[in-house]
Amino acid sequence: MTRFHAGIGTLRRRGYEVEIGRTAYQRRGYLCGTDAARVDELNSYLRRPDVKMLIAARGGYGTLRLLPDVDYDAARANPKLIVGYSDITALHLALYRNAGLPGISGPMVAVEWHDPDPASETLFWDLAGGAAPDPLIGPGGEELQAVREGTVEGVLLGGNLAMVVRLLGTPYLPALEGAILFIEDVGEEPYRIDAMLAQLRLAGVFDVLGGLILGGFTEWESDDDSPTLSLERIFEDYLSEATFPVAKGLIYGHFPVKNSIPVGVRARLQVTSDHARLGLQESVVTLPQGRCDKDSQPS
């Protein structure tokens, strides 16, 4: 809990009034309390108009368990920023699908806020304050790299690849037709990334996607005694014939120095033979709520 309390201290020093949820101190195996307690607390904050931002303590596990009981009507009626990444991807996508609520895939209290990288923090507060950068570049000025040429305008969706795949076929994944999907993952060996990309292809996602941006795929160790494919080769296998623009090198993932990325805003991805650019077309904090058709079917 040391990092958690240090993260709370950072936010308070920035001038924010912070209320700590009671389940932050509960334990049930790898979960912070029972599903009922966690979703009840989440809904209580979604219903409060005085709460303007919910920042996840960490990614953790168990977000998928909560989705059927989230109060999406409250989220629509009392819009607020939901901040987090990793497993929080499931909540971001479900809230956008069922409440039209955009969010920020960004720093979490016990993971980044205890010792925030200054450049990454600046990018986060810019987005949270209403900025819509064009282009969206990395904290060190990093630009995207071209993979497949093309230009598309669409809704920016995504986050953790495993969470996106686990939402396929459920009522919690937004329609991906024409969307710009950004993905990252952590601790997944190449054969598992291969399987997840295969599932996206088999589900027809690559037939309808508007564009794709690859972030970081980190914290896996190769076994020298086992044959494998490189991640580069795997992505090439699945994307070499893509009919949509593809870029890589997004400074986003499970590492401390990174972009924060809005989920559920319109963006433009332009990829030429030697250049790639992602630009936001609207702010995550000024969007009209409820613009999603909650009865639309996910791809």
State the catalytic residues: 86, 184, 254
Rounded to 10°, the helix 231-239/190-202 angle is 10
Residues with Cβ within 8 Å of residue 287, at least 6 apart in sequence? 102, 264, 265
Closest of 243, 173, 257, 272 to residue 215, by C-alpha:
257
Cα angle 76, 62, 294; round to 5? 30
Place of tokens 């030429």: 272
CA dist., res. 55 & res. 62, Å (int):
16
CA dist., res. 175 & res. 287, Å (int):
18
3-state SS record for 275-298: CEEEEECCCCCCCCCCCCCCCCCC
Q: Are 208 and 177 in contact (CB under 8 A)?
A: yes
Q: What is the arrangement of strands in the sheet containing 53-55, beginning at the earlier edge strand?
A: 53-55, 81-84, 103-105, 261-263
